[in-house]
Amino acid sequence: MPPATAPIAPRRPPAAPAPPPRRAKLLSGLGSWSDRRAELTLGALACAVLVLIGLMVVFVFSKAWPSFWHNGFAWFGGGGDVDRQLDNIYNGPSRPSEYVYKLHAWPLLYGTALTTIAGVVIGLVTALLAAVFIVEFAPSPIRRLLEPVVRLLAAVPSVVYGLIGLLVIIPFVNNHLIGEGRKESVAYVVQLNGSGLIVAIVILSIMITPIMISIIVDALRSVPQGWTEGAAALGVNRWRAMWTISVRSVRPAIVAAAVLATARALGEAIMLSMVSGSRGFAPNPLDGLTFLFEPVRPLAATIVDHSEGLSVTPFAQTLYAFAAVLLVSSILLSLGGWAAKRPLARWSAR
Amino acid sequence: MDEVTSTAHRAAAVPPPVRRIVLDDQPTVVTPGANGNGNGNGTRTPAVRFAASDTAARERMRVEELTIAYAGRVAVRDVTLPVRQGEVLSLIGPSGCGKTTLLRSLNRLTELTPTATRGGRIALDGQDVDELDVTLLRRRVAMVFQQPNPFPMSIFDNVAYGLREQGTKRPGKRDLAPRVEEALRRAGLWDEVADDLGRPALRLSGGQQQRLCIARALAVEPEVLLLDEPCSALDPRSTQTIEDLIVRLRAEVAVVIVTHNLQQAFRVADHVAFMYLGELVEYGPAADVFGNPRARRTREYVSGSFG
Ligand SMILES: Nc1ncnc2c1ncn2[C@@H]1O[C@H](COP(=O)(O)OP(=O)(O)O)[C@@H](O)[C@H]1O
Ligand SMILES: [Mg+2]
């Protein structure tokens, strides 16, 4: 206890605040960026992006219009050899009133759907199993090796995959998997040379799997430990807990991964043009196994394969029509992903 | 009468599992019955407690010379402890003394930690838990965690989860509904959620979530219920609800509750085990441990000098 007589120290007057240095003023200028201003700026940016996308859609469709208009719904149908039709458009008369537009694009649309859907389905299943393995079952040395490898694979340019397909896989398929008999059986319709549907699908799925693995692994990692522990405490084994709790709770990430991979598969042009056989042919499932070796050419590959023809107006308009279809597909894809994720959000915490 | 039975029981019981305290002839495992724990709860008449602890079959689990280490660092050392049906056993002690570790070892959840090693025996109904199928063991010995951890699904699916995962053939919703309702009623949550069982469990309040976790554990009809500080993240009202629930459950399942809240241990426990630095310092009826602790450590802890 202090003695009562102790003099009370006089209170110091508060020091006058030093004038703030210049830098501080600059910084505080930034700091005074109110939420409102940030909101407005970001909102404007977002709007600009939307307007840009809108303009792009309008531009592509206005260019593509003649092709759709001349063919009507038959544009989406089959009939005739689509590659010959493309040649006719390219070689048609140069007077605008005599432009040739006739096109039945079904083989290209079918080829796009076939490669994309098969590639994504195979890739997604593989990615899911691989991610589950990496997160839950891999011994840690293997895990430590696998993860960087997966990230590396996700970054390999698609043309490299195309090259490997061209130099390694196609000769292998041609020499070992397709027998002479098989080649002869369809020789009157199409030449089989190793490149074709199965090679395209396999390389496409290899190409899109790593990014899906990465996304799903990250999501599985962030599943709260309490959930898996809670399941274990109820006598559920690791494998069941993984599927019923962890994988279930990362469904939004799985959808996101699938959407991203589908977008990449839809837009993949170079690699597919190198390994798909690049023929406007619709593989026929009735051919049995031969179906897998028949050539295709998806839309994006068709565009790169024919980009030298852009100087011919009706041909350019036809290519724009392909682009328009791809654009609409990717918009529908985003909407589909959003619609698939929406009901899942309900279960997450707030 | 009182004296006779307690002597008989003492004769039948194993040596007192007290460590570190040397006492001449006083038994540490005293048959409960003579003294209540003083909170005057109507449901806990001495007669009921007496009957409950009378038969030898009452001892459901037994931990013997249990030692658990994490990567060589001992967290639980040489603990011997019985777990009886029809009473609540409370583990108390300062944080880090190994309560959670001991509790998790009872249904072999410590095996989820790769660095954990275990020595000693744990028996469920006389059978070594290591010889039991871990899945079956965990169904018989259920656990509720410190942090409420409902699964990201509906209330119904949360409670039904264990039931659905039990059999090879999945029971239909129709078969599950009565069992889900029963579990929610036992956990005292039914009235609050009955109107919409399809609601996401993660939107419930913390107290409701914890009761949902208790319902989830009860749905598989365990014989032993382990609770690890179930109220540490909850408000007083939810705590009250869960304490009432524990006292009610006592008749049907053997309850082990870890708590660092002495008041709570005093309110719900029949027997109390006090742990300190991984060792079991004192075990006995709640009234004795709180009212007349034998060890100096216990006395200090109970009177609030440390911890
Ligand atoms: N998973 C773990 N890995 C390593 N050490 C752990 C682990 N869990 C607990 N421990 C250690 O074991 C001791 C006991 O912890 P715990 O059983 O959680 O105590 P309590 O529940 O009484 O607070 C502590 O020293 C803690 O650091
Ligand atoms: Mg603890």
The pLDDT-based confidence of B276 (bands split at 50, 70, 90) is very high
* pLDDT tens, position by position, B222-252: 999 999 999 988 888 889 988 998 998 888 8
Q: Evaluate if residue B138 carries a pLDDT over 70.
A: yes
Residue bearing the bigger pLDDT, B273 or A33: B273
Contact across the interface for B149 and A230, Cβ inside 8 Å: yes
The atom number, within ligand 1, closest to the CA of B103 reads 17
| DSSP label at residue B96 | T
* Distance (Å) from CA A90 to ligand 2 centroid: 77
Yes or no, beta carbons of B145 and A231 under 8 Å apart: no
CA distances from B136 to A192, B110, B127 (A): 58, 16, 13
Give domain limits for chain A: 63-348
A23-27, A267-271, B65-69, B210-214: segment of lowest average pLDDT: A23-27
pLDDT at B306: 47
Q: Strands across the sheet with B127-128, in order?
A: B127-128, B116-124, B59-70, B73-84, B279-285, B271-276, B88-92, B254-258, B224-228, B141-144
- Ligand 1 within 6 A of B75 CB? yes
Inform me whether the pLDDT recorded for B5 exceeds 60. Answer: no
Q: Which of B66, B74, B90, B100 to probe ligand 1 with, by most ligand atoms within 8 A of CB?
A: B100
B112 C-alpha vs ligand 1 centroid, how far in Å?
Answer: 14
CA dihedral B261, B267, B269, B274 (to 10 degrees): 30
**Residue B289 pLDDT more than 70?**
yes
Q: What is the mean pLDDT of chain B?
A: 81
CA of A239 to the centre of ligand 2 (A): 27
Whether residue B261 is predicted with pLDDT greater than 90 in this model: the reply is no
Model confidence band, residue A18 (pLDDT cutoffs 50, 70, 90): low
The pLDDT of residue B1: 40
Of residues B19 and A106, more confidently modeled: A106
pLDDT (tens digit per residue) in A320-329: 999 999 999 9
Q: Which phi and psi (to 5°) does residue B120 adopt? A: 95, 180
Candidates B216, B219, B229; CA nearest to B153 is B216
| CB within 8 Å: A234 and B202 | no
Q: Which domains does chain B have, with CATH numbers?
A: 3-20+61-302 (3.40.50.300)
**Closest in B109, B143, B202 to A349, CB measured:** B202
Predicted local confidence at residue A31, as pLDDT: 59
A232 vs B contacts (CB less than 8 Å): 109, 112, 138
Q: Do A291 and A283 contact (CB within 8 A), yes or no?
A: yes
Residues with CB under 5 A from ligand 2 (ion): B 100
What is the pLDDT of chain A when averaged over all its residues?
Answer: 88
- pLDDT at site B175: 87
Q: Does B143 touch chain A (CB under 8 A)?
A: yes
Atom of ligand 1 nearest to the CA of B113: 1
User: CATH homologous superfamily of domain A63-348?
Assistant: MetI-like (1.10.3720.10)
CA–CA distance, A49 with A218 (Å, rounded to integer): 29
Is a pLDDT exceeding 60 seen at residue B205?
Answer: yes
B97 close to ligand 1 (CB < 6 Angstrom): yes
pLDDT of residue A28: 55
Q: Which ligand is nearest to the CA of B104?
A: 1
CB contact at 8 A, B245 and B212 = no
| CB of B259 shorter than 6 A to ligand 1 | no
pTM: 0.82
Please determine, for residue B50, whether its predicted confidence score (pLDDT) is greater than 80.
no
B112 touches chain A (CB under 8 A): yes
Taking an 8 Å cut-off on Cβ atoms, the answer to whether A234 and B217 are in contact is yes
Mean pLDDT of B174-181: 92
Give the number of other CB atoms < 10 A from CB of residue B281. Answer: 24
Q: How far is CA B211 from CA A70, A189, A347, B87, B183, in A?
A: 68, 69, 18, 20, 10
Ligand positioned closest to the Cα atom of B111? 1
Query: Is-contact A160 A203, C-beta < 8 A?
Result: no
Instruction: Output the six-digit token pair for A108.
Output: 């290209």
Long-range contacts of residues B48-55, Cβ cutoff 8 Å, at least 24 apart: B48/B251, B49/B86, B49/B87, B49/B270, B50/B5, B52/B85, B52/B86, B52/B87, B52/B251, B53/B9, B53/B84, B53/B86, B53/B87, B54/B5, B54/B9
Of A6-20, A35-49, B36-50, give the lowest mean pLDDT range.
B36-50
Among protein residues, the one whose CA lies closest to atom 4 of ligand 1: B70
Which atom of ligand 1 has the smallest separation from the CA of B71? 4
Instruction: Label residue A209 by pLDDT band (50, 70, 90).
Output: very high
- The mean per-residue pLDDT over the stretch A267-288 comes to 90
Q: Determine the pLDDT at residue B166.
A: 84
Kindly tell me if the per-residue pLDDT of A176 is higher than 80. yes
Q: What is the pLDDT of residue B250?
A: 87
Q: Select from A292, A104, A110 the least CA-distant residue to A186.
A: A292
Residue-wise DSSP of A220-238? HHTS-HHHHHHHHHTT--H
N-terminal to C-terminal alpha carbon distance within chain A? 55
Q: Ligand 1, closest atom to CA B91?
A: 22
**pLDDT for res A56:** 94
Residue A114 has pLDDT above 80, yes or no: yes
Of A54-58, A269-273, B63-67, B231-235, the range with the lowest mean pLDDT is B231-235
Q: Which one of A223, A225, A234, A246 makes the best mutation probe of the B interface by having the most chain B beta carbons within 10 Å?
A: A234
Tokens 């549907």: give the residue: A197
Q: Is pLDDT larger for residue B95 or for residue B2?
A: B95
Tokens for B266, please give them: 């005093």
Q: Which residues of B touch A350 (CB under 8 A)?
A: 202-203
Segment A202-215 mean pLDDT:
95
Those residues with Cβ within 8 angstroms of residue A266's Cβ, 6 or more apart along the chain or in another chain: A112, A116, A300, A326, A329, A330, A333
For residue A299 the two structure tokens come to 């839309």
Residues 220-259 of A with CB under 8 A from B: 224, 226-227, 229-237, 240, 244-245, 248-249
% of residues, chain A, pLDDT over 70: 90
Closest CA of chain A from B111, distance in Å:
11
A349: tokens are: 């915490």
Segment B94-105 shows an average pLDDT of 93
B206 alpha carbon to ligand 1 midpoint, in Å?
24
pLDDT over 50 (residue A3): no
Q: What is the pLDDT of residue A24?
A: 52
